[in-house]
Structure 1
Amino acid sequence: MDRQHKDVTIKGSHSRHPSVSVKSLPRRVVLQLMGFSPISLCIYPLFAAPMQDMNEPEVIRTLKLSGGVRIQEIIEGEGREARDGDYVQVNYVCRRSNGYFVHSTVDQFSGESSPVTLPLDENQIIKGLKDVLTGMKVGGKRRALIPPSVGYINENLKPIPDEFGPRRSLLSHAKEPLIFEVQLLKIL
């Protein structure tokens, strides 16, 4: 029997039509007879799916500082830059490196914020966060990966949450890297 063509006999209709023979064709042949082929899509582009405009994805570069902190500049901000010795008002979200939420100054449900004021002094604030904030402009936003060596090496360093649960979580995982998303609101 030929592989491309098969004879089909309709059973149960012997009395009216003794034998009806139908030749079966491969799908490719049927589609080509109907006018669908890869070549027809090139010749008649209105049959092809429309091409969407492709925008280049915005690449956020990571800057690695000498202390091991990695910074991504999300929004640059405007005005003067924060320097050593300044007091700054910030909103932040702190997570462990596995993405587990630790603490935030912005309520995730209502969007209300309670910014904190931090001194840019490494004796009062974790050194990694000081490195992130130094050089930021008002309105700027940065994401940073802070290694434990420049993180909470001491329990008295800010920012420390007031609530027991976040404070315990933060200090019990002090030997893990932290991810801070920081927005600079004011330089005081």
Structure 2
Amino acid sequence: MAATAMASYLQLPITRTKARHSFQPRCNSGTRKISIAGIYSASSFDSCTFGIHSRRLLLFIGSIPFWSNTNPAFGALMPQIEEPEIIRTRKLDGGVRVQDIVDGDGSAANDGDVVEFNYVCRRANGYFVYSTVDQFSGEAMPIILPLDENQMIKGLKEVLIGMKIGGKRRALIPPAMGYVNENLKPIPEEFGPRRSLLSHANEPLVFEVQLLKIL
């Protein structure tokens, strides 16, 4: 196959001969003779005239890989690489951007429902602010709140509406949809975490929430 491809590429003269044959290229003085023996069909090329660099060209062309979906070492099909699933971002009313991480099961939460959930709050640059799940022990202290914007920050309410039990979402909540006053929840009870959260109330915050129950 490599010799046939090479002959076609160089557009060398082709003549027919018997099935078994040898190549004896005609050479001028100062050139090297190359003899190649093999069995080919009658349609294969039989004799060619090579220049002084023929042998180098043959080695070069033989080293060029064929661009295909086969493994050049074993001639086997290469495994197909599946692309990772893309997590798409959608924008809600008010500018909240949401990503669905896990869909969850069962009925979805609606406006006015009382829900139980865990959350992690970070700044937009990834800086940790607060979490209801202890990072070391794994102990969780879930929040129970009604989906009511008079009690819960409006951006988080929009994120939780439509979620199913076990579902997870990540959201970027702008300040206008966040802690517009200190009475809105969720907010840590401890003084240090509470102060830390409110100190970043005027910047976008990232919430990762998991819906546990619809009460």
Normalising by structure 1, what TM-score? Answer: 0.75
Residue 38 of structure 1: aligned partner = 64
Query: Shift of residue 53 of structure 1?
Result: 3.5
Residue 166 of structure 2: aligned partner = 139
Query: Shift of residue 79 of structure 1?
Result: 1.1
Residue 213 of structure 2: aligned partner = 186
Residue 95 of structure 1: aligned partner = 122
Cα RMSD for the two superposed structures: 2.5
Kindly indicate whether the alpha-carbon contact (under 8 Å) linking 2:65 and 2:72 is maintained by their aligned counterparts in 1: no
Residue 129 of structure 1: aligned partner = 156
Output the CA distance in 1 between the equivalents of 2:199 and 2:98.
Answer: 24
5+ unaligned residues in a row in structure 2: which ranges?
Answer: 1-55
Residue 89 of structure 2: aligned partner = 62
Give the aligned length: 157
Letter in 2 for 1:77: G
Q: Runs (4+) of structure 1 moved beyond 4 Å?
A: 40-44
Kindly indicate whether the alpha-carbon contact (under 8 Å) linking 1:41 and 1:47 is maintained by their aligned counterparts in 2: no
Residue 185 of structure 2: aligned partner = 158
2:113 to 59, 82, 86: 86
CA deviation vs aligned residue, 1:38-93 (integer Å, no higher than 9, x gap): 34898981179x95541121011111011100111111111111111111000110
More displaced 10-residue stretch of structure 1: 162-171 or 124-133: 162-171
Letter in 2 for 1:38: I
Query: CA 1:41/1:72 → structure 2, altered by over 3 Å: closer, same or farther?
Result: closer
Kindly indicate whether the alpha-carbon contact (under 8 Å) linking 2:103 and 2:167 is maintained by their aligned counterparts in 1: yes
Normalising by structure 2, what TM-score? Answer: 0.66
Larger Rg: 2
Output the CA distance in 2 between the equivalents of 1:78 and 1:92.
Answer: 19
Structure with the larger RCO, 1 or 2 (CA within 8 Å, 6+ apart): 1
Output the CA distance in 2 between the equivalents of 1:178 and 1:59.
Answer: 22
Letter in 2 for 1:117: I
Letter in 1 for 2:210: Q
Query: CA 1:41/1:73 → structure 2, altered by over 3 Å: closer, same or farther?
Result: closer
Query: Shift of residue 115 of structure 1?
Result: 0.7
